[in-house]
Structure 1
Amino acid sequence: MSGSGRKDFDVKHILRLRWKLFSHPSPAPGGPAGGGCLQQEGSGSFEHWGPSQSRLLKSQEKGGVSTFWKKPSSSSSSSSSSPSSSSSSFNPLNGTLLPVATRLQQGAPGQGTQQPARTLFYVESLEEEEVSGMDFPGPHDKGLVLQELKVEPANSSQATGEGCGHRLTATSHSLTPQSDMDSSSSEEFYQAVHHAEQTFRKMESYLKQQQLCDVILIVGNRKIPAHRLVLSSVSDYFAAMFTSDVCEAKQEEIKMEGIDPNALWDLVQFAYTGCLELKEDTIENLLAAACLLQLPQVVEVCCHFLMKLLHPSNCLGIRAFADAQGCIELMKVAHSYTMENIMEVMRNQEFLLLPAEELHKLLASDDVNVPDEETIFHALMMWVKYDMQRRCNDLSMLLAFIRLPLLPPQILADLENHALFKNDLECQKLILEAMKYHLLPERRTLMQSPRTKPRKSTVGTLYAVGGMDNNKGATTIEKYDLRTNLWIQAGMMNGRRLQFGVAVIDDKLFVIGGRDGLKTLNTVECYNPKTKTWTVLPPMSTHRHGLGVTVLEGPIYAVGGHDGWSYLNTVERWDPQSQQWTFVASMSIARSTVGVAALNGKLYSVGGRDGSSCLSSMEYYDPHTNKWNVCAPMCKRRGGVGVATCDGFLYAVGGHDAPASNHCSRLLDYVERWLL
């Protein structure tokens, strides 16, 4: 301890500590205030914080990391002093203190700057303790114990020592390190953001100038210079070639076989630039080259590009190409597309050019999406006739994959005496098996085989149009996806309709008649699911709700119903060619909520209500004679009955057995089948 009462400190040691803790040197004596690190807090004060407000410091002796921040200092009330004492920068030659924060108090205008009140810290020791009264983040393992010295201005008469105009008071605090932050100011990590890109750009310029090239790829008559390192970095094929003990590893010129020159050049360019141009007319050569050179990224991109190009005219070729190149995912997608769109595929040249082995795989699949077995049989016959002389020998083998028992009996009778089959014993056996299936229906359970099992056809779409929704008319149109087993909304009607009729012509929905809640309608609208647009068509001659609607040999028939006043037995027919409604022969009795269906060229009118009760009677209309004929009645009376045909049978499903106004009416769960 010196005579002046101060501790003696090693100035060099203090400078080292200051540099280590605050990462900047002390300003020289008489230098600019604050060392150029002043931050203005308000209109009347500045703060000196060092390089940053939250400085991370490191105790290299203990390996600890400390976070330092400013501790508020008390304001000064003394008057201005000499320039040397009012300087905001710390002069290491004067003493022993480490400044953490300095606040300059500005006086009133014209009074000058008051003496600064400074908070100074001196590193005294290291110890384990927590500091009370200060808010430290996280747990405190090791602490730097600092001696806080409050420097207050003193009168010149009280100052002791040369140039000393301050009174010091000391308190101790411990600043605790945060171990999860790297506070080293003497070590930094730098990473160039675009280093790899710039490096490859430089390599590309070397390639264009043919500088530093150490290999030449020869394909056909073309020579392509390159750098081994670049090729090896993107291609496993070249990496294996240049790093293994093979003769090509040391050759300057390497011959490339089985690869397109333009495709190879594109891939070499890709190795340098990462850019690739995909074109429909060159994509197959590019994909084949990428598969050979083992460029998985390029293979994936090319496969996705080909998936976008799938079409009924090229899907068979893409499927075969993907199989040859080992692109499993592309092959699966192309195969699924082929099965889903087989109706369009069979109309294209690729189908006729299929080899027998590929056609055999197609015919054997359960996933062929055809409406009936007759369609796939006619496709086989078309394929055989395209090159009959060569393909007749494969006919019996391919016919075994046609599910002949599912063909109509008339076609089987014609096949028996067909020139292509009558002299082929195997074909005759298959035809006879199918005929027995039809001739002996009671034994069909004993004749089950893969040829009697229908294919998983999803041709066509099931639509649900309008109806009742919470006692109000629904206007939505939904369709059912057989593949995903989901209902999705397909569109909206222009207005509310109840008890209307729906028919389908040329993949368009015709919505006819009904009522809107206030009045009975005669309007007709056509919905196109592909364009999702509605078209207004000529109205019917009669307003009808509860009518039956179906298509018979082209025209649409609107049968019976109610006009708002009475039950109707009249029938109207709409001709798609002339786009006009005309009346045809009327039914024998009036029917509303009637079920209608077409079967074997006849229009059947089933059940309904006549105003007094539900009906069990049934009659059919012959368009060639323009007459109605009575049929055998159903077992149950049915109003609002659903009618459909399947495999030559007419089915009546559900309905009710009393007028809707009768609270004792009963919903029916019976299904009746009418035999011709």
Structure 2
Amino acid sequence: MSSRKRPRDSTDAPCTRTRKMKRVVSSSAEKSRDKRLFRSNDHATDALAYVRRLREQEELCDVKMVVGGRDFNAHKVVLVSTVPYLRAMFASGMKESRQSAIELKEVDACAFQLILDYAYTGEVEVTTENVQELLSAANFLQMGSLRDACCDFLEVQLEPSNCLGIRAFADVHGCGELARRTDKFVCQRLAEIVKTDEFLSLEWKEARQLLSRDDIQVRSEEIVFEAACHWLQRDLPSRQQYIEDVLHTIRLPLLKRSYIKDTVLQTDLIKDSEHLRYLIKGVLIAINSPENPLTKHRAAPETIFIVGGRNSRRCLNTTEKYDTQNDQWTAMPPMKQIRTAVGLASLDGVLYAIGGECETPNSQDGTLYLDSCERFSPLENKWETIPSMPHQRSFVGVVAHDGYVYAIGGEDKMTSFNYVERYDPDKCEWESLPDMRLNRSGAGVAVLDSKIYVVGGHDQQLHHSSVEVYNPADNTWSFAADMTLARSGVGVCVIDNILYAFGGRNRIQAIYYDVVERFDLAANRWERLPVMTTARAWPAVSVLRGKAYVCGGYDGRLRLNTVEVFDPCTSDWKQVGSMMEYRAGASAAVA
């Protein structure tokens, strides 16, 4: 055997022995050029796409999921990285982690197919047909983001005919935010809900719980009485035993005497029962007792309030409320302070009127810019003064979000502002926040995706088409896509997570707009919609039951009292009852 050594193969050589390459860049080069980080924007997408192809071809699959009698081949690494429940299973050393086939008995097979596709693509189409099974599966598999997406989808689907079922479904699956929002919907729309099969099919315990609530919003107690009668009559043989209990849910002292005499006591369920007639009379005798819970009023239905503004003669402190049932506006207690160019927001059922301006003989231009603020409780039916904000200004953007009232931008005689402040009702104090990037007066302000969007406005020289976004989570400002049209005096609102902008003006060109745009959050772009029936700058805009109400404003010649309503489902406009006052620079909110 030859003793000659075998030449070292290149694969045997350690890295430290590798022949050095001649440097083509001098080591004396600037330190900032010594190295560069390369990052591929397509790396994650390409890798996931390749793994998806492996699954489609059933290559390198190392686990079989058995769900509803169906087999699903997959890659453990994908399941572990996307499905928390399976991550815990595989990482905990459970016996399933060593099995090549794992059965999930608690999950629907069709829902698991969607979840598996989501794990490999990051996308899933939620529909009315699959949302319940998909949410249930996502909840069991601890996929919080997917579960929340299903909850958001269900919230958009809320109608009087299905809301009780959605609320029960949310309770069963521990979807607290969906349950809270659905519960609010139930309270607001009870008058319609009591006519549906879902309500009439409720068990007695559920019906009693609903009809006994203080926070259901009804125009009169007659609605509750008639709902209870309809529920009883749906299955009278089995429900007759609950008649007396039903009467205890009705706040009889709140019914008109004539209604009790002509309707309640003449109802077939009651008129032939001496005991029930005696019971009703006994309740009415106790009407003046301060301890009688049946004399407590229910919550009033949410509706639109509009405050302040200016007509052709003067600035206003008047307040109006819209009666949706009769399509008319009624006067409410006036604000303590006259205010036009005022901001208004609703927080926890209370209205907050912020800043504005009014006429005064004590200033050079005859205008007093306000830092004063006040709030109105519809239940107490009165205004009260609250602490003033740090800066006097009018045309301030006001919005309520997450327990605070925000005041953004505005102007005085000399300049527009980029100031941002917020009011804490619990502490009764204001605090300053980071300024906007641009000075803005007459901008529209609304909350979208838990962030505050400030739209358009002007800085005394230029009108803005730009949009700034404040993120309360990290206290920062950024820009979103510009509107198609620069303008101030624009009204904005959000419906079903879509931002809308209505009207406005260009002061330099003396143009008043009927233009309507909406913002696509996912695409980060604006698009035009059918125009309003009337051009309006400084309209008051509010959302009631999924529709935008655009109230008053100025068309370049006249201050308006007309109101038009936009339906986002059809993109149609229609006029409703006009306000009592002609108003521009007013503000509206729902409470």
TM-score, normalisation: structure 2: 0.49
Which structure would you say has the larger Rg?
A: 1
Instruction: Compute the TM-score of the two structures, normalised by the length of structure 1.
Output: 0.43
Q: Which has the higher contact order (CA 8 A, sep 6+)?
A: 2
